[in-house]
């Protein structure tokens, strides 16, 4: 789905429709974009980085949960991250500075959070320290601190709220969600 949506972004005649239906603008009133924006990547670097991260962490979570539970986890975490970002954008940002949000980062951060709980001794490489392996239980708080700094300083390079919401979702789901999922089966 991500690749198809990315391909659609590359077609100039579709730009207006993509912006309208695959970017979540908190002031637009189009709540369905809380879901569609999770599969949307406009820039090649954004698509490439997120798909590499999804391949790296999503595969582990897929093996942990299985197909159906992974899909439920991924979509739920993506929509939850979008919702938290939506609420925080309206609460904490200057109305003139509210921009649209897109990408799988919230869902990917959920995968990172789930991996950190399940495999705390696993090592990962961070993009800003690519040659130094770091235990995931240290890497996750480091990237969450980076996002918190982005929020507190107002230097929003990314959707920091979605990242933090996603990581929190992954941690909580790994600790408590699997049992709840089994109970509704």
What stretches in the chain show pLDDT beneath 50? Answer: none
Q: Can you give the pLDDT at residue 128?
A: 64
Domain that holds residue 41: 2-183
The β-bridge partners of 129 are 126
User: Which position among 37, 40, 101, 105 bears the catalytic label?
Assistant: 105
Domain count, the chain: 1
Contact call for residues 134 and 124 (beta carbons, < 8 A): yes
- In what helix (H) or strand (E) does residue 124 lie, and over which residues does it extend? strand 123-126
User: Which position among 37, 81, 163, 168 bears the catalytic label?
Assistant: 163
Residue 105 known to be catalytic: yes
Q: Which two tokens stand for residue 149?
A: 């700094």
**CA-CA distance, 36 to 13, in Å (whole number)?**
19
Q: Can you give the pLDDT at residue 81?
A: 96
In 3D space, the residue among 44, 182, 38 whose CA is nearest the CA of residue 110 turns out to be 38
**CA-CA distance, 151 to 147, in Å (whole number)?**
6
| 124: CATH | 1.20.1540.10
Please state the pTM of the whole predicted model: 0.89
Q: Can you give the pLDDT at residue 112?
A: 96
Residue 24 known to be catalytic: no
Q: Can you give the pLDDT at residue 35?
A: 96
Tell me the pLDDT of the chain averaged across its residues. Answer: 89
**CA-CA distance, 49 to 57, in Å (whole number)?**
12
């Amino acid at each position: 789905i991500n690749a198809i949506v990315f391909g659609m972004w590359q077609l100039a005649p579709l730009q207006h429709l993509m912006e309208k239906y695959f970017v979540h603008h908190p002031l637009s009133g189009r709540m369905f974009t809380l879901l569609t924006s999770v599969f949307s990547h406009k820039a090649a670097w954004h698509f490439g980085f997120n798909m590499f991260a999804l391949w790296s962490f999503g595969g582990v979570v897929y093996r942990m949960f299985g197909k159906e539970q992974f899909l439920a986890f991924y979509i739920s975490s993506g929509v939850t991250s979008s919702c938290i970002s939506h609420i925080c954008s309206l609460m904490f940002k200057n109305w003139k500075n509210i921009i649209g949000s897109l990408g799988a980062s919230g869902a990917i951060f959920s995968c990172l959070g789930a991996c950190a709980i399940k495999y705390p001794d696993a090592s990962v490489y961070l993009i800003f320290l690519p040659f130094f392996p770091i235990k995931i239980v240290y890497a996750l708080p480091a990237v969450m601190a980076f996002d918190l700094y982005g929020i507190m300083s107002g230097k929003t390079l990314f959707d920091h709220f979605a990242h933090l919401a996603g990581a929190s979702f992954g941690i909580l789901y790994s600790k408590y969600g699997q049992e709840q999922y089994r109970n509704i089966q």
